[in-house]
Amino acid sequence: MENNADIQMKLKTKEVRRSRLAKNYTQDYMADELGLTQSQYSRIEKGECAVEIDKVVKIAQILEVNWIDILDFGTAQNFYNCNQSGNNNTNTMYNQDFENERKSYLTQIDDLKTQIADLKKDKEYLHEQITLLKNSKQ
């Protein structure tokens, strides 16, 4: 069974960079907080390598954002793993279980969006009915 440090994810690099700059944090600061070199952090922010899920959570905490919002759930792709020694090992980020789970979540999200739209319509209808009732009693 994999532990959290074995799970590698890609980040929405533009979102991470935007959030870092908004807080006036340097790459050196981020690297220090994450226990990385500035060079390793720079490769993460450029999207040249993936990040362990625990580091994703730590980046989100530092930047005060939701960690889900900085994950890139794009299609499976090849990437370089930025490990502590700074060596680049080619890995393939393709896991059929992950891809199936991702598709399931995207389907659930679409279903929830539809439900929300339906509820908004119901709310508008009920609001109209209440208004009509109030006007008819006057």
Do 37 and 61 have their domain in common? Answer: yes
Same domain, 106 and 122: yes
CA 65: distance to chain centroid?
A: 9
CA dihedral of residues 36, 38, 44, 45 (deg, nearest 10) = 140
Residue 39 and residue 102 in one domain: no
Same domain, 79 and 100: no
Confidence check: pLDDT of 20 > 80: yes
Q: Tell me which residue range forms the domain holding 121.
A: 95-138
Q: Specify whether 87 is located in the same domain as 28.
A: yes
Reply yes or no on whether the pLDDT at 6 is more than 80: no
pLDDT at residue 95, rounded to an integer: 57
Structure pTM? 0.52
Q: What is the pLDDT of residue 22?
A: 94
In this prediction, residue 8 carries a pLDDT of: 67
pLDDT at 54 over 50: yes
Domain count, the chain: 2
pLDDT at residue 91 above 70? Answer: no
Are 57 and 78 found together in one domain? Answer: yes
The answer to whether 40 and 86 are in contact (CB under 8 A) is yes
The pLDDT of residue 7 = 61
Q: Can you read off the two tokens belonging to residue 40? A: 């390793």
How confident is the model at residue 12, as a pLDDT?
86
One-letter identity of residue 107: T
Residue 130 has pLDDT above 80, yes or no: yes
Number of residues in the chain: 138
Using the predicted structure, report yes or no on whether residue 5 has a pLDDT greater than 60. Answer: no
Of 45-49, 63-67, 74-78, the range with the lowest mean pLDDT is 74-78
